[in-house]
Chain A
């Protein structure tokens, strides 16, 4: 009898998550509906106007989609040369040593730092440096946001990649060494190909993290509603435009912001799903 009760309770609690998820999607879709209906879904995606003058309202998501994609991809590019060596250090070269566990722990620690702190550091340390180096006059912009974003996603990419590098069977490595390979050759020709799909999927998940990162990007991207014409120019990401304007927006503008949120949600969900699927496949093989 109590078994049945437990089962029913468990079932009910388990039901809550899908309901919450469905509720979020439902709310997003209904609230975004106005914007899509007014501008048309495709037009909304491709328009670069963001004009909230009463009577001449025009909203389009393109600048923000561009901003998000630029910061994310640039962050990925900056992240690889830091996370891959960490993964090799911890997972292969110094596997099982004290040094490896210290480095691994410190890298994981980076993941626990609140994003507002990264934002502050970026704003008061990195931004002045970028101005001093004459890279851009205002200091903030796509580049600055991407650099800090890169540091934030290093732990995610590194710890997952480490796991896959560690999983390369010793048999294969020793087999390669026994044929006269050097360590670098073993890394390049055995470890990378064997762990490759796993490493790739860990970067897909890191992208998933970077896409939605809000606070740091909002503090550093410059918050202008244009399509960024270079990596040093300012812009807005999908998350940062919402964070910037949701408090003062109503009606069509609010609906447009929510529509951007819906698009961000969909992109992130798809990327995460692809990443998780790839990890599952990499783990099986």
Chain B
């Protein structure tokens, strides 16, 4: 087995919302560059909580504690500035939420505007075109770039949100059930898109949808009650899970 230096690595990562209970318990896992890793598990198993730890989203809320280490290119993000981490680890949420006061064009560039980074008109145009093309939205919206992002369909809005995250050229893209609010056709589009995108960015995706995990991910994690039960090649996990709980979940006996 060749050893690739992981781009993101959880080391005994714990997240707790209250002093008594841990939502994520001692998770250790190394994520390889340019892969799609699916995080599966029943509701409340801590998969979103783990995901949100990877770009310090938990720092926004006073009561949440994150312990252990999370390494991004070998550097522990828990001791870094959240702002720097979040520029390198982008995120796409469950519900598509383009900024309603901004045009499609400005939505793609919102990361720069929010960070106070000035771009020339040519740089802006190039970034917008590049990002919208990489989410396969360019042809659909190139003539309406000045319209509000909220005017698009749900699937288009979600692709706009992915474009917005990609504009910052993140190393890792975290996705928290990005297709659960979308119809099957929009979901299919996004899945195809992610398979393309893994060439440029490492994707960590939380999903409720086992079929989705099977279709797009090369690695899968199965979490249960805050623990990482199993982590390995998706194919192997689906055909022959190592843990009884994984098997029960994947065969629909638990969920």
Question: Which of A's residues lie within 8 Å of B, judged by CB?
Answer: 169, 171-172, 174-182, 185-186, 189-190, 193-194, 196, 285
Contacts and interface: CB of A to CB of B under 8 A. Distances in A.
Nearest to B102: A193
Interface in B114-130: 114-116
Contact of B93 (A175, A186, A193): A175
B83 A180 contact: yes
Given A180-B86, A193-B99, 17 more contacts: A169-B97, A172-B97, A172-B99, A175-B91, A175-B93, A175-B161, A178-B90, A178-B165, A179-B87, A179-B90, A179-B115, A179-B164, A179-B168, A180-B84, A186-B114, A189-B113, A190-B99
Nearest to B115: A180
Main secondary structure of the interface of A (DSSP, over half): helix
B57 interface: yes
Given A181-B114, A181-B115, A175 B84 contact: no
Interface of B: 55, 57, 60, 82-84, 86-87, 90-91, 93, 95, 97, 99-101, 110-111, 113-116, 161, 164-165, 168
B99 A175 contact: yes
Given A179-B111, A190-B99, A185 B116 contact: yes
B93 A180 contact: no
A194 B100 contact: yes
A160 B28 CA distance: 47
B201 to A, nearest CB: 14
A61 B58 CA distance: 60
A176 B99 contact: yes
B168 A180 contact: yes
Contacts of A182: 83
Nearest to A185: B114
Contact of A171 (B60, B93, B114): B93
Contacts of B100: 172, 194, 285
A184 to B, nearest CB: 10
Nearest to B107: A175
A198 B57 CA distance: 28
Top 7 A-B pairs ranked by shortest CB distance? A171-B97, A178-B91, A181-B114, A180-B87, A179-B111, A193-B101, A180-B86
